[in-house]
Amino acid sequence: MALVSNTINYVDGDTLLEGFFAYNDSFSDRRPAVLIAHAWGGRDDFVKQKAEKLAKMGYFAFALDMYGEGETGSTNEENMALMQPFMDDRALLHKRINAALYAVTLLPWVDDKNIAVIGFCFGGLCALDLARSAANIKGAVSFHGLLNKPEFTADKAISAKVLVLHGYDDPMTPPALLTEFADEMTTLKVDWQLQCYGNTQHAFTNPQANDPKLGLIYDATAERRAWLSMQNFLSEIFSG
């Protein structure tokens, strides 16, 4: 087995975007693809590592770029400045993440009828909004993501299954928002699941998360449980 990885350029209008892909070249046929949406800091090493893990599992993995040219922030202030335009304009977010989906469907290694998206923190919101847009994907997974409902509504039924993996003590998405999200998904008749981890805060999958004031705390047990749940979810949606 050899792991093949590289960067690839794609566009959203006039914005040049830089994705990172990885796949296992021991598979000769086209394979299911998993898009990976990054946290507020941009397409960093964290999502590259997730792409490589997914590639070893046999998927074509694509760490997308929401900001352009692979831009990343180095402080909370820079990260917020990068993310905020998309929080303020969810139609822009919708357009940008759909550009990544379109780019992936054109790649020769990808089975374009079997695509899913996962995301972390801000990327969790991106993953859910791709599903909310009624995009042609099999599923969406949010890891400690933001869950607030966008202004836009899809003009057709949402076919993607949805899995939300969440720390119950996440200060950025308190329990009241979990109920709102559940009501939203139920109203839209989505096949959805919500798993909450007790005594767990935001960013629990990131070993670098260590900011109690912001509620950013790594939790190895929650990370392991969430990754296993994602693996089972992907196996389910791609076997149907």
Position 163 scores a pLDDT of 98
Retrieve residue 34's tokens.
């998993």
Contacts of 147 (CB under 8 A, 6+ apart): 124, 125, 128, 164, 166, 173, 177, 178, 180, 181
Give the residue-averaged pLDDT of 19-41. Answer: 94
Gap between the Cα atoms of 61 and 32, Å rounded: 9
Taking a C-beta distance cutoff of 8 angstroms, is the pair 133, 117 a contact?
no
H/E run at residue 52: helix 45-56
Residue closest to 200 by CA, chosen among 173, 179, 177: 173
pLDDT for 154-194, tens place per residue? 778 999 999 999 999 999 999 999 999 999 999 999 999 99
Retrieve residue 166's tokens.
């969440």
Domain count for the chain, please give it: 1
Indicate the Cα dihedral angle 1, 101, 185, 176, nearest 10°: 80
Residue closest to 83 by CA, chosen among 43, 36, 118: 43
Beta strands per DSSP E along 144-211: 161-167, 192-197, 210-211
The confidence band for 1, taking pLDDT boundaries of 50, 70 and 90, is low
How does DSSP classify residue 42?
B
pTM beyond 0.75, yes or no: yes
Position 156 scores a pLDDT of 85
Domain range spanning residue 63?
3-239
Q: The domain spanning residue 72 has which CATH number?
A: 3.40.50.1820
Gap between the Cα atoms of 55 and 42, Å rounded: 20
pLDDT for 28-37, tens place per residue? 789 999 999 9
Gap between the Cα atoms of 196 and 186, Å rounded: 18
pLDDT for 55-103, tens place per residue? 999 999 999 999 999 999 999 999 999 999 999 999 999 999 999 999 9
Q: Is 13 exposed, middle or buried (0-12, 13-18, 19+ CB in 10 A)?
A: exposed
